[in-house]
Every structure is written in structure tokens, then in C-alpha cells.
Structure 1
Amino acid sequence: MMDLPNRVYISFLRLPLLVRILFIALLVFLIFGISIHFLEPETFPSVFDGIWWAIITASTVGYGDYVPKSLLGRMTALVLILFGVAFVSSYFGTLAAAAVTKQDALSEGKIPFKGTSRHIIIVGWNERSKELISKLINTNNPQMIVLIDETLETNPVKSRFVHFIQGKAHVDETIMKSDIESAEKVLITADRGNDELQADMNSILTLLTIKGICPSVKCIVEILTSEQFINAVRAGADEVIQSNKLTSVFMVNSLHSNGDGLLSDVVSQLEEKRLSLIALQETDIGKSFREIHDNLLLSGYLLIGIKRGEETLLHPPHALDILADDQLIAFK
């Protein structure tokens, strides 16, 4: 059986280098502080005075409040200077190197996210995610964002609210670094640098990876081709954004308008608003769309439609009766 000294020594070797150097430095201060107290008790009345002198001497501060007078005491001071300064310098040098290394690793996306819960994960760095992150962090109550991308070498956003993870989003190890279990939502953006079909396949593969690890997290996926819409739904997407379809809506509106850019102006105004589903109050059941619309206006909401099952009705007839399972679509 391994004896106690060997076990202590092995346990010591398993400690981080920074901790080991600190322990050795503290041991040196303790030994020399006690030694100088017994060598010159009149100059160093207490053990604490000796330890204080050892720390000040080894750190090259040298206040001069305690100075050994005997030859043996001065020889002890010389040994302390030769060995103590080396350990103190090694400690602070290692501490600085560790801090720089960790900062570099954080910037390069090598450190897992261990922050507050309910964060948002965004997969892919592009103009859309760049604009989205900018809006999310420049609010009164910014939410923590974890950005995952394999093409970037360093974090592109200099903000304490953005944690970068470098790697392929469809690899389990990368997703686990994002603390997926605590995430509120995941947004998977399409890589427009690839063929559209290939980009959609990569997005769906990432979605499958995320849902396989954490089925409960809400996933929003950007899809470029209409053919892959149903596959994204089958893969478990909670919401699918067909960005090309949205772009075509803008183009059609521009072709049939008088060049006034009305749709663009409306969208710009809506950027500061939040579209949301409002739960129906029991007293609202059976009322007309017009009645509920007028009531919500008093609370600062603009009612624009209802969601009835899988069907979404925008600007329905004012006389339409609201059913028990309906959800209200409104802007705040």
C-alpha cells in the first residue's frame, strides 16, 4: 500500500501549476519567517513579523522596517532573495500567462459557455445574425447570446453579452459547449455561401443534432428552398422562416407600388415593436373581433388577427366571433 507521504506528493503533482507554485512560495515565506524569528528574536519579536519580512523581501519591495543584524540572519536573507524572488516571479509570471491564455481561448471560441440560463443560441455568422445580435444586445435588458460558427477564428462581437463557440454546429461536442439544456431558444441561420439545397441540408442536420440532445428547446430554422420546408418541420423545427419567400414578398410589393417604399417603411417601424400571441381571456369568448380589438387598444396592443388551430387569420371580418381555442395576434 502506498504510504502517506507518497500519496500527498502525488496529490500535489496533480494540482494546477499555478496552485503548486503558490503553495511553494507560501511555504518558503513560512519557513524563512519562522527561521528569522528564532535567529533574531529581538529584531523580529513575533513569527508574524518574520513572515511579513520574508514576504516583503522576496517580493523585492523592501520597506526597511525589519532588517537582520547578525551574520547568520543576513545569510538567511540572501538565501531568501535568491530562492524566494524566483518563486514569486514564477507565480506572477504563470498567473499572467494563464490569464492571457484563457482570454485568447475565450476569444477563439474554445471555452464552453457557463453563464446564466435562458440564453439564446444563434448558429451561423452572417449579415442577418450580425444585425440581429446588434439589436438584441443594444436594448435596456440585453439577453445573453451564444454564437456558434465554424468559419470564424475569433469572436466578431466585442460584447460581454456574446459568447463565441468555434466549431461545427452539427457536432455533439460543439452543441454541448453552448449549455443547450439551459437555452431558451435556438436560431439556425442558413449559410448563403453554399448551394441553397446544401445550406438547407446543413441547417436540418444541425436541427436534428440539437433536438436529439435537447428535444424541449425551441428551435427556429431559416430555410431557403420551399422543398425543404416540410423536412425542417419533420426534423422538429418549432418555427421555419422561409427567407427567400419573405424577400419575394418585398420584391412583388416593390414592383406593384409607385416606388414609395411603403413596405420597407412599415417593416422599419415594426422593428421596435414585438409581435406576440396573447392568451384569450375567458370573458372574451364569444365576443366579436372588433370588440376585443377596441379593448386591447386601451392596453396598448394593436390586434391584427387570430390564430385558429393551424390557420392564421389576418385582419378578419370585424363581426367574426372569437372561439375558445383562438389565440390573439397583436403588436405591443
Structure 2
Amino acid sequence: MPNRVYISFLRMPLLIRILFIAILVFLTFGVSIHLLEPQTFPTVFDGIWWAIITASTVGYGDYVPHSILGRITALILILLGVGFVSSYFGTLAAAAVTKQDALSEGKIPFKGSGHIVIIGWNERSKELISKLIQFPQMIVLIDDTLETNPVHSRYVHFIQGKGHVDETIIKSDIEKAEKVLITADRGSEELQADMNSILTLLTIKGLCSQVKCIVEILTAEQVINALRAGADEVIQSNKLTSVFMINSLHSNGDGLLSNVVHQLQERRLSSHSVDEAYIGKTFGECCQELMLNGLLLIGVKRGEETLLNPSHSISIEKHDELLTFK
């Protein structure tokens, strides 16, 4: 039995072991000085108080041993107790620094809910994170090329590792995440980058099928594979870039589309289920009512079809979704 207790004690964290030993020292010397000088230390609590104050080198002087044996006990306490107290606080400080370093280096798992997981560090995710932390919302950034957290914000938790490894994804508390954004690695060949994104998507969906995943795909051929892998939404960034280029070629160089997109960065596009009050009304009537609430109605999502700026005379149906900017 004593051997089991000793083994269990050795398995405790170093900080806890030092604390237990220090408490034992305080109790032992507190009781001892009470027994040696009961007139100076009338209660055991007085003795323990003196032992703690003496070992911590505070030395109030409210209790002082007068006998030779009491002073020898005090000397032993100073030599023994100060070492344990110093060790405890030194270990505590070292543990705090070690944990802070581990947190910065992405070695600490995230615990929380309702967060957004972003996989891949690049200019796109950097810009996105800078916008999201203004709301604010907790973000878990996963990347295997970074050594430390690149964003100094309490709303960004960094995890170092590859996105297609189960252990890395589990550290992000994926089951409680709101959404996952998988960005493409533009440093790799486009097809290889898409394969890595789809592999990451399969890993996430295998661990938590219900989490919503948004995937950036570079090649048009891999869009269907991303959807087959379970992507809830696919962003074809190269296609979006080509739209900008075509607009620039056919414009007068006024950068109108760029200005519009810049304005949209400060606003949110969202979809809303139709309230009963809007069912049967025309698109134009809904536009006017929503505008009074600070919402700009730009279209209607009807099944798989999205109607942008439809005829103002079309009627809103029960299962439609209204697309608005706020």
C-alpha cells in the first residue's frame, strides 16, 4: 500500500509534488514549534502561520522562538522551507512560460464552441482573419508552415500541423466548430493544391460530417470532386479573378468592380428564410420594406436557382430565401 501511494505521488506533476511537500513542511514545523514553545505559539495555527511566514522569507516578527531548541527548529525551517518555496514559485513561473510558448507554437488544443476553423496561412486568410476579429469571433488557424502564431489577437488560436492529419483536426475541437474554411496552397501546382484541399476536406468530414465546410478550389475540373467529398460550398478563386480581369478589360479603367468589392468588405451578404408577412408580396414590395430596416434586397434563392435582381413583379413564395446586404 505505501509503495502504491509513493508511485502515485511520483506520477503527479512536478508542481503538485513540490506544493504537497511544502505544505507538509509547513504543517510539520508549525506543529513542532507549538509543542516546543506553547507559550509563544499558543495554537497550532499560530505555529503554521509562523512556519509559512518564515519559509517565505517575509518575516513579520510577530512570532519569534526564544528557546535554543526553537531557534534551531527555525534555522532548519529556513534552510529547508525556503528551498521548497523557491522551487515551487520557480517551477510555477517556468510552467507558465512553457505553456505560453506552447500556445504560441501551436501545440495546445483548442477548447470552445461556435468558432471558425481556417486551414492554411496566406494573404487571403490573413485578410479574412483581420476582418473576422473585428466582430469578434473566435478563430482557429491551422497551418504546417508556420512556427508561431502570426496573429497577435486573443481571438485567434493557432494549431501547428497538417490539415489532413486526424490529430491536428481533433485539436481544433472540430465537433463544436461553426464552419471550416479550407484555403488552397498557391505555392503548389494547382492540381496538387486541389488534391490536398480535397484530402483535408475528407479528413474533416470523416471526423465530423455535420460541420459546414467551405473549400477553395483552383481548377474547374476538381469542383465536382470537392462536392463529392462533402463540400457545402466551393469557391473557385481563379474564376473570380478572371471575372475581375474581364471587367477591367471591358471597362474604361475606372475600377468600378474593385470599388464595389471594397465596399462589400465592410458589409455582410446573408440569406433569410421568408417571413409569413412577405409571402405573396412582390419582390419590389419586399425591397421597400427591408430597406426601412437597413437591408438591401438583391435577389431570391429558389431551390437550386439563384435570381439576382429579378423582375420586381415576381411574387415571393413560401420556401424562397431572400438575399440581402446589411
Letter in 2 for 1:8: V
Letter in 2 for 1:284: Y
Q: Hey, what does 2:191 align to over in structure 1?
A: 197
2:252 pairs with 240, 248, 258, which one?
Answer: 258
Does 2:66 correspond to 1:69?
yes
Deviates further, 292-301 or 278-287: 278-287
Aligned length: 326
* C-alpha distance in 1 between matches for 2:99 and 2:241: 42
1:106 pairs with 103, 106, 110, which one?
Answer: 103
* C-alpha distance in 1 between matches for 2:256 and 2:77: 79
Q: Hey, what does 1:137 align to over in structure 2?
A: 133
* C-alpha distance in 2 between matches for 1:29 and 1:283: 73
Letter in 2 for 1:32: F
What is the percentage of aligned positions where both structures have the same residue?
A: 79
Conserved 8 A contact 2:273-2:319: no
1:174 pairs with 151, 168, 174, which one?
Answer: 168
* C-alpha distance in 1 between matches for 2:110 and 2:116: 12
TM-score normalized by the length of structure 1: 0.95
2:208 pairs with 210, 214, 224, which one?
Answer: 214
Q: Hey, what does 2:155 align to over in structure 1?
A: 161
Displacement of 1:297 after TM fit?
Answer: 1.6
* C-alpha distance in 1 between matches for 2:275 and 2:57: 74
Does 2:181 correspond to 1:187?
yes
Deviations 1:215-262 (A, max 9, x none): 000000111111111111111111111111111111111111111111
Displacement of 1:48 after TM fit?
Answer: 1.3
- SS of 1:42's equivalent in the other structure is coil
Displacement of 1:6 after TM fit?
Answer: 2.4
- SS of 2:215's equivalent in the other structure is strand
Letter in 2 for 1:104: D
2:124 pairs with 116, 123, 128, which one?
Answer: 128
Does 2:51 correspond to 1:57?
no
Letter in 2 for 1:136: L
Displacement of 1:11 after TM fit?
Answer: 2.1
* C-alpha distance in 1 between matches for 2:318 and 2:37: 91
Does 2:49 correspond to 1:34?
no
| Gap regions ≥5 residues in structure 2 | none
- SS of 2:267's equivalent in the other structure is coil
| Gap regions ≥5 residues in structure 1 | none
Displacement of 1:295 after TM fit?
Answer: 2.1
Deviations 1:155-195 (A, max 9, x none): 11111111000001100000000000000000001111111
- SS of 1:282's equivalent in the other structure is coil
Q: Hey, what does 1:324 align to over in structure 2?
A: 318
Letter in 1 for 2:130: S
* C-alpha distance in 1 between matches for 2:86 and 2:292: 68
Conserved 8 A contact 2:30-2:48: yes
TM-score normalized by the length of structure 2: 0.97
1:269 pairs with 263, 286, 301, which one?
Answer: 263
Does 2:89 correspond to 1:95?
no
2:217 pairs with 212, 215, 223, which one?
Answer: 223
Deviates further, 41-50 or 121-130: 41-50
Structure 2 counterparts to residues 284-299 of structure 1, below 5 A:
284-299=278-293
- SS of 1:269's equivalent in the other structure is helix
Does 2:30 correspond to 1:20?
no
* C-alpha distance in 1 between matches for 2:200 and 2:253: 40
Does 2:45 correspond to 1:48?
yes
